[in-house]
Each structure stands twice: as structure tokens, then as C-alpha cells.
Structure 1
Amino acid sequence: MFNLWFGVIFMLVHFSLFLLSYRLFGKVGVYAWIGMATVLANIQVVKTVELDLGLTAIVITLGNTIYGTIYLASDLLNEKYGEKAAKKAVWFGFFTLIASTIIMQMALLFKPAEGVEFSLEAHNALSAIFGLLPRISLGSLCAYFISQFLDVRLYSMLKRAFPKPGQLWIRNNGSTVISQLVDTLIFTTIAFAGVYEGEVWLSIFLSTYIIKFIVSLVSTPFLYAARSFTFRDE
């Protein structure tokens, strides 16, 4: 049960730190958070944890919470600064993801110092984290690019259909729930289709999407809070 309850705290810490970044640095803080989140999500995804749900237990990868904050960030930018600002954030995150992947793959090509045990251990650790299989890297890039632009587009459409301040939860969850479904489908298909049997693939797909759906719901109050922030220079 530790993982389950600690996961709740883990999720709340993510959203609280996002709010703090926006409160302290304004719109720049949102862009900075997106850059950080795209990198951390792909580091955390290599670690799997088991969640004890009482009658059953599921195994999930980390990274879903921090990845969910990216949708929160783009929705916030769309809500307060418009679709253009949200699209710019998507491109920013995509560039950050590609740049960090290229740089770390090049870093792994360096031969570690001979006779220095710590250097070899560090190299092996970095290889385990950043030496992702090509299919996983491709799946992550494709899923991010398509789902994020879809989220921005859907949010803009829902913003016109449900423009009232009290309907923010419709705009937020409506766009995120659909775009994250597409994100999960693209990633799990590219990364795992043919690698696992159909039942296993379906289990990964469903558990991943359910976690993302929960994260989306939890993020809504934080989006309301972030929308209320005002800045003199904006």
C-alpha cells in the first residue's frame, strides 16, 4: 500500500511545484516547467512500480504524473494567453525532448575512464536510463508531438463552445482525456505492439490510460488556482 499512498503525495507535489513555478516566474515558469517535464518523464518511465489496490495489483511505469503536468501547462497557456502561446510551448517541449535525447546518446558513446570504478558505474547507470530502445524513443516523440497539438486544438474548440469561467473543467478534462487516449495508443503501439502478446499489450494500454485519466482529474483544481494568478508585467 506504500506505493499507492506515496503515489498520491507524489502527484500532489508535482502539481504544487508547477503552481509555484508559475507563481514565481509567470509564463516563463510554465515554459521552463514543460522543458523540465519532458525530460524527467522520459527518465522516470524506465522505472516500474506495483500499486496494491486491495483486491488486485497493477504494475505501471513512472512518468505519468509529470507527463500529465505538461497537459496542465499547455491548457493553462491556452486559457490565459491563447492558442499561439500553447502551440509555442508544444514546440518548445518537442525541441527539449529531441535535444536531450541527441546529447545523451552522444554522451553514452564516450568510453569511460579505465581503472576508475565509479566512472564505469556511472556509465552503466546512464546507459540504463538514457540508452532507450529506438522503438521506445520513437514512440515517445510521436506520441508527444501528435497528442500535444491535438490537446491544444481541442482545448481551443472547447473554449469557444464552453467559454464561461465555471466551465473550465469541461475545457480542461475534455481536451486532456481525448488527447491522452491518443497519446497512450500511439506510444504503446509503437513501443510494444508485436513485442508483447495482445492481452499484455492491452493491459499496459489500459493501466497507463487509467492513471493518466486520474491525473487529469486531479489537475483540474490546480488549473483553477493557476488561472487566478495575476502578474503586473503580463
Structure 2
Amino acid sequence: MSNPTDPGARSGGPAAFASTRGRFYAYVLALLCCVFLISNISATKVIEIGPFVADGGAFLFPLAYILGDVISEVYGFRAARRAVLMGFAMQALAVLVFFLVQVAPAGPGYENQSAFEAVLGFYPRIVAASLAGYLVGQLLNAYVLVKVKEKMGEKHLWVRLLTSTGVGEFADTLIFCIVAFAGVIPGWDFVNYIIVGFVYKVAVEIVLMPITYRVIGWIKARETTYAPGGAETDAKV
């Protein structure tokens, strides 16, 4: 399978990467952190659509892996690892702030303390689950993508995207579901939750792959440091 829009479909060539000092790394990093934060807050609500059980984070979280793929493909493993750790730190900061707000005395006229605690009081468990899943899943995603790229060069981007996403999303979904909702979602619904979560996330990656191709190609064409052997300090594992 090949795709004419694949930025590397026309030439195998050695693996190329750009420097994180380029024009777009900071923007993609900021967007990744925002997606991660919003998804984890949304994940405090379990939702049911027909026979499928999921959490609110399902609407946005798959984009975190797409953005992780963009960073890994364009900037390399070290840049992706830096992005993952930054997202981790921002999530830890959110947990601390929400905890301090929750335990602080309610002010005059504020009558929503119980509602605040019901939603964000569950947030630390969601974050613990998400951080564990995210850290393992995203690092596996970046590692697999870069290793496949080092072997295949610039050609067949679709192989890197599907392989890395399959490995990363499986680890992420399994860890997150067990830590966040084991004992909360009962019986078969819990198994359903894991299966649906994994299949859905991978399906989103496949559906959005043409857009991912275009974004990666657009950034590669505009990052002047993107070249074979470039940015070795960022790209090497």
C-alpha cells in the first residue's frame, strides 16, 4: 500500500528529522498539552452511546496520538519524549491546582462545592491512570515510529503511523482503563469499555490519516532544518 500524498513515498532515502528550534515544534507541543488536559477533565464522565461504553475523553484524546505522530515523524524520538514529559508535568500541575481549590473553604454565595468535588474529586484517579497510560503509550508510540522510520527511510509513512499507533494505543488504553475504572464499571461493561476504547482510537487515526499526511508534509516542507541526518541530538534514541 502506498499513498501519493505520502511525503516520503517517492524516495526511500535515509531517515530525516528537523530541529526542535524550528518554526512549528512549539505550536504542536502546546496543542498536544491542551488536548491532554481537556481530555482528562472530560474523562471524568462515563458515557454510553447505544451498546458502547466510553468516557468523555474519547472525543478529543485520539488527537494526542496524532500530534505525537507528527512530532515523532518530523522531530524525532527525543523531541517526542520531551513533549510527553511536558504534557506529564502540566497534568501534574492541574492535579495540584484542582486539589488546592477543592480543599479551600468555599466563599460566600458559592453553593456548588459538592458538585465540584463530585467531578474534580475523581480527577486525581483519572490523572493517575492517564499519566501512566499516556507515559507508556506515547513513549512506545514515538519509539516504534522512529525505529521503523530508521529502517524504512522516508517511504511508507502509513506503516509507521499504523504500527506505532497500534502498539501505543493498546498499552495506553489497557493501563488507563484498569487504573481509572476497575471496580467502577462492572463486569462485561468494563471489558466492553477497553475494547471499544482501543478500536475507536485506532479507527480515528485511520480515518484522519489523510489529514495527518497533509499536516506532516506541510510541516516538513516548511521546516528548513528537516534533512537526512539533521537534528541528530533530537532524533536519536
Gaps of 5+ in 2: 1-22, 226-237
Number of the residue aligned with 2:111: 120
Number of the residue aligned with 1:3: none
Shift of 1:231: 3.3
What is the CA–CA distance in structure 2 between the aligned matches of 1:190 and 1:232, rounded to whole Å? 39
Residue 47 of structure 1, aligned match among 33, 41, 45: 45
Say if 1:233 and 1:125 are closer, same or farther in 2 by CA, change over 3 A: farther
Residue 225 of structure 1, aligned match among 195, 201, 214: 214
1:160 is the counterpart of 2:150: yes
Number of the residue aligned with 1:87: 81
Return the letter of the residue paired with 1:182: A
Question: RMSD in angstroms over aligned alpha carbons?
Answer: 2.1
Return the letter of the residue paired with 1:207: V
Q: 1:150-201 CA deviation, whole Å, 9 max, x = no partner?
A: 1111111121233234x11111111011111111111112223344444232
Return the letter of the residue paired with 2:67: A
1:26 is the counterpart of 2:15: no
Return the letter of the residue paired with 2:174: L
Number of the residue aligned with 2:129: 139
Q: Greater helix percent: which structure?
A: 1
Q: TM-score, normalised by structure 2?
A: 0.77
Identity of aligned residues (%): 26
What is the CA–CA distance in structure 2 between the aligned matches of 1:46 and 1:186, rounded to whole Å? 16
Using CA pairs under 8 Å that are at least 6 residues apart, name the structure with larger relative contact order, 1 or 2.
Answer: 2
Number of the residue aligned with 1:38: 36
Decide whether the 8 Å contact of 1:147 with 1:180 is kept in 2. Answer: yes
Shift of 1:233: 6.7
Say if 1:133 and 1:101 are closer, same or farther in 2 by CA, change over 3 A: closer
What is the CA–CA distance in structure 2 between the aligned matches of 1:221 and 1:208, rounded to whole Å? 22
Return the letter of the residue paired with 2:145: Y
What is the CA–CA distance in structure 2 between the aligned matches of 1:181 and 1:169, rounded to whole Å? 18
What is the CA–CA distance in structure 1 between the aligned matches of 2:213 and 2:128, rounded to whole Å? 34
Q: TM-score, normalised by structure 1?
A: 0.77
Say if 1:164 and 1:209 are closer, same or farther in 2 by CA, change over 3 A: same
What secondary structure sits across from 1:50 in the alignment?
strand
What secondary structure sits across from 1:164 in the alignment?
coil
What is the CA–CA distance in structure 2 between the aligned matches of 1:35 and 1:141, rounded to whole Å? 12
Decide whether the 8 Å contact of 2:32 with 2:67 is kept in 1. Answer: yes
Decide whether the 8 Å contact of 1:177 with 1:216 is kept in 2. Answer: no
Gaps of 5+ in 1: 1-24
Tell me the matched-pair count: 201
Return the letter of the residue paired with 1:93: G
